[in-house]
């Protein structure tokens, strides 16, 4: 598309942009492009070629002007499409309304208020968050308010330049087909955003069309979180907890939830406790990233913490570190998402009733949970990547089998306990993990002892994820080309192990909905999975090997064997990718 056309689109965009900051940014870009600045021309082309795609994860992108960025024009159009879809599909949509929550990122409050005003312009009621709060709070509030949908303005753990728009259905789970494509089609029919009816918020409040939620709603959520405790008799009064919300919104939920649940000795890292959209102390606001937990681990060492808990900025994920035993203290080990999921599931299956029950995880998580479920007689479900699938699988199980959903998790440190929140919830997961630590301590054991016991029972699963980041349009094309290449010519063997089966989920193989995922199954239970990220410009590869722990063999020795096998498998696959 020629640059002149991009300039025409940009000038049309300026005419309806209500945000002085993005309008000024776009004017400067147009001026630079008009002066022949090649970088400005490329930037303009990227912003105005296509648009951010609305899908099952909603929207997520870099803040800025243009349809390929997150901004107020786009949020207004998306909300108008959402409203049209709800009014066409839900008979009492106007009365049931939409819950609107937001985190503390740049423009989150503005996006939330624009959402309420667009909904109000067509008579749809909204329940608007009174302050920034965690994503799971929005998912919970959808069902608590009996709303027909929910919107959460967040970019979760993405860098500071990002924001996003996540949509929930009336069941409290993120949207899945056909709602995602239906909403996207309705968005495509929306005209200019400056022609949408957008009454002032005060006018909508007086009419009762906008209802401001209060701290009482948050208190109700915390009470429901505390009610999830599986062993309320376990004493956690002197359990020392080091915590960080990583400059996000978690502190005002996790700290009181832990206190209410009987864990008052909580020490939050002061430099990261308050929300800050710049995330100044971390290179990347994701507790899984190298260095992100350095400050809270240092705090833990100072106070001799029994457990370290970290949320991502919207508090829907939880990262855990536990003490390493040693005569002088051995520091802390940060658990992987699979390890945290394994000990949580093992604990909840052990202490809970032996009724009909189910645990769930995603195809890219470890296979360990399936072995645990089989050993304890629990049902097991494996879903596509994304908590929307786990949430819906849980509800399907409860409806079809009358059973109880115990917990679900995904390896990217997302956990959900029970039916309270149909999405990942880093607040309730923090409470239950603190309880798990106290439960182990009461039995004279540590979390690492519990994990080793699991490995001896079902095998040592060694996993690793490698992400290739390829930003921009060229990067996305490179990711697509890699997936096409492995589909058309899959490897016959990797690291000397025969590829016994190739499962292409894009064709609906494996009994799951179509998805851009390739699974390579190798001899001995080894596995390689490839998939593009749904929210970031990354090609993700997942590697796993299972090692039987010999009688009397040290777990550390088995792990050395497993890591060597895993490294060989990873390196062989990555070499083919390069």
Predicted local distance difference test score (pLDDT) of residue 329: 63
Predicted local distance difference test score (pLDDT) of residue 524: 81
Assess whether 316 and 454 both reside in one domain.
yes
Assess whether 164 and 187 both reside in one domain.
yes
Domain boundary among 397, 431, 458: 458
Assess whether 248 and 365 both reside in one domain.
yes
Predicted local distance difference test score (pLDDT) of residue 509: 80
Q: What is the pLDDT of residues 142-198, one digit of tens each?
A: 999 999 999 999 999 999 999 999 999 999 999 999 999 999 999 999 999 999 999
Specify if 233 maps to a domain: no
d(CA 485, CA 488): 5
The answer on pLDDT for 30 being more than 60 is yes
Specify if 111 maps to a domain: yes
Assess whether 376 and 335 both reside in one domain.
yes
- If you average pLDDT over residues 214-231, what whole number do you get? 98
Assess whether 353 and 389 both reside in one domain.
yes
Assess whether 436 and 296 both reside in one domain.
yes
Q: What is the pLDDT of residues 502-554, one digit of tens each?
A: 999 998 887 888 889 999 999 888 999 999 987 778 999 999 999 999 999 99
pLDDT band at 327 (very low <50, low <70, confident <90, very high): low
Specify if 100 maps to a domain: yes
Specify if 224 maps to a domain: no
Predicted local distance difference test score (pLDDT) of residue 1: 44
Predicted local distance difference test score (pLDDT) of residue 471: 86
**Residue 450 belongs to domain spanning:** 238-458
Specify if 75 maps to a domain: yes
Assess whether 443 and 548 both reside in one domain.
no
Q: Is there a catalytic annotation at residue 108?
A: no
Number of domains comprising the chain:
4
Predicted local distance difference test score (pLDDT) of residue 83: 98
Assess whether 424 and 568 both reside in one domain.
no
Domain boundary among 433, 458, 483: 458
Assess whether 454 and 519 both reside in one domain.
no
168 forms bridges with which residues in the sheet? 150, 174
Specify if 541 maps to a domain: yes
- Which of 46-50, 52-56, 194-198, 476-480 has the lowest average pLDDT? 52-56
Specify if 352 maps to a domain: yes
Assess whether 399 and 523 both reside in one domain.
no
Assess whether 186 and 291 both reside in one domain.
no
Q: Which of 108, 126, 156, 217 is labelled catalytic?
A: 156
Predicted local distance difference test score (pLDDT) of residue 13: 94
Where does 377-471 have alpha helices with state H? Answer: 387-401, 426-442, 447-458
DSSP codes joined into one string, 342-376: HHHHHHHHHHS--SSEEEEEETTS-THHHHHHHHH
- Give per-residue burial for 467-499: e unless 16+ CB within 10 Å, then b: ebebeeeeeeeebeebbeebeeeeeeebbebeb
User: What is the rounded (10 degree) CA torsion for 324, 328, 331, 333?
Assistant: -10
Q: What is the pLDDT of residues 402-412, one digit of tens each?
A: 999 999 999 99
Q: What is the pLDDT of residues 369-382, one digit of tens each?
A: 999 999 999 999 99
499 forms bridges with which residues in the sheet? 522
Output the CA–CA distances (angstroms, integers) from residue 35 to 8, 24, 27, 47, 414, in the order listed: 16, 17, 12, 18, 48
d(CA 426, CA 410): 12
- pLDDT > 90: what percent of the chain? 90
Residue 488, phi then psi, degrees to nearest 5: -75, -30
The answer on pLDDT for 330 being more than 90 is no
The whole model's pTM is what? 0.93
d(CA 16, CA 72): 10
Predicted local distance difference test score (pLDDT) of residue 414: 98
70 forms bridges with which residues in the sheet? 63
CATH classification at residue 472? 3.30.310.50
Average confidence score pLDDT of the chain: 95
Q: What is the pLDDT of residues 79-133, one digit of tens each?
A: 999 999 999 999 999 999 999 999 999 999 999 999 999 999 999 999 999 999 9
CATH classification at residue 122? 3.40.120.10
Specify if 228 maps to a domain: no
The answer on pLDDT for 328 being more than 70 is no
Any idea which residue has 């009358």 for tokens? Answer: 402
Assess whether 44 and 57 both reside in one domain.
no
The answer on pLDDT for 263 being more than 90 is yes
The answer on pLDDT for 460 being more than 70 is yes
d(CA 27, CA 13): 11
- Which of 52-66, 372-386, 481-495 has the lowest average pLDDT? 52-66
């Amino acid at each position: 598309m020629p640059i002149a056309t991009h300039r025409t689109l940009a000038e049309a965009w300026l005419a309806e942009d209500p945000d002085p900051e993005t309008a000024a940014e776009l004017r400067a870009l147009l001026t630079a492009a008009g002066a022949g600045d090649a970088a400005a021309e490329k930037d303009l082309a990227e912003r105005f070629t296509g648009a951010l795609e609305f899908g099952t994860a909603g929207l997520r992108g870099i803040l800025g002007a243009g349809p390929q960025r997150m901004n107020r024009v786009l949020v207004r159009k998306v909300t108008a499409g959402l409203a049209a879809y709800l009014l066409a599909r839900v008979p009492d949509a106007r009365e049931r309304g939409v819950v609107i929550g937001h985190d503390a990122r740049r423009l989150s409050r503005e996006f939330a208020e624009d959402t309420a005003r667009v909904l109000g312009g067509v008579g749809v009621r909204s329940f608007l968050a009174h302050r920034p709060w965690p994503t799971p709070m929005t998912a919970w509030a959808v069902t608590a308010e009996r709303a027909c949908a929910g919107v959460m303005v967040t970019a979760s753990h993405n860098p500071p330049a990002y924001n996003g728009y996540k949509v929930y259905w009336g069941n409290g789970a993120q949207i899945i087909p056909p709602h995602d494509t239906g909403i996207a089609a309705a968005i495509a029919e929306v005209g200019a955003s400056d022609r949408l009816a957008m009454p002032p918020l005060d006018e909508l409040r007086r009419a009762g069309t906008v209802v401001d939620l209060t701290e009482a709603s948050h208190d109700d959520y915390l009470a429901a979180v505390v009610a999830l405790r599986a062993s309320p008799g376990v004493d956690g009064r002197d359990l020392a907890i080091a915590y960080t919300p990583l400059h996000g919104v978690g502190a005002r939920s996790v700290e009181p939830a832990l206190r209410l649940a009987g864990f008052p000795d909580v020490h939050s890292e002061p430099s990261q406790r308050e929300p800050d959209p710049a995330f100044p102390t971390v290179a990347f606001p994701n507790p899984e990233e190298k260095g992100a937990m350095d400050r809270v681990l240092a705090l833990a060492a100072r106070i001799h913490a029994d457990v370290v808990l970290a949320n991502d900025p919207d508090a829907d994920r939880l990262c855990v570190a536990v003490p390493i035993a040693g005569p002088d203290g051995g520091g802390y080990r940060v658990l992987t998402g699979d390890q945290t999921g394994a000990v949580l599931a093992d604990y909840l299956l052990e202490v809970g009733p032996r009724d009909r029950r189910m645990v769930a995880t995603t195809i890219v998580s470890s296979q360990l949970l399936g072995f645990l479920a089989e050993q304890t007689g629990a049902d097991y479900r494996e879903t596509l990547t994304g908590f929307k699938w786990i949430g819906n699988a849980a509800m399907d199980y409860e409806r079809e089998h009358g059973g109880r959903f115990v917990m679900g998790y995904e390896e990217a440190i997302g956990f959900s306990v029970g039916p309270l929140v149909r999405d990942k919830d880093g607040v309730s997961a923090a409470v239950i993990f603190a309880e798990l630590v106290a439960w182990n301590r009461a039995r004279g054991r540590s979390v690492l002892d519990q994990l080793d016991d699991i490995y001896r029972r079902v095998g040592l699963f060694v996993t690793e994820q490698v992400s290739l980041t390829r930003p921009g349009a060229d990067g996305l094309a490179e990711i697509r080309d890699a997936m096409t290449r492995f589909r058309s010519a899959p490897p016959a063997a990797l690291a000397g192990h025969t590829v016994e089966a190739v499962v292409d989920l894009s064709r609906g193989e494996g009994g799951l909905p179509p998805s851009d995922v390739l699974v390579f199954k190798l001899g001995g239970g080894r596995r390689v999975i490839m998939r593009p990220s749904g929210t970031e410009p990354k090609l993700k590869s997942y590697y796993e090997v299972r090692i039987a722990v010999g009688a009397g063999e040290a777990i550390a020795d088995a792990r050395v064997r497993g890591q060597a096998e895993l490294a060989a498998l990873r390196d062989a696959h990555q070499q083919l990718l390069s």
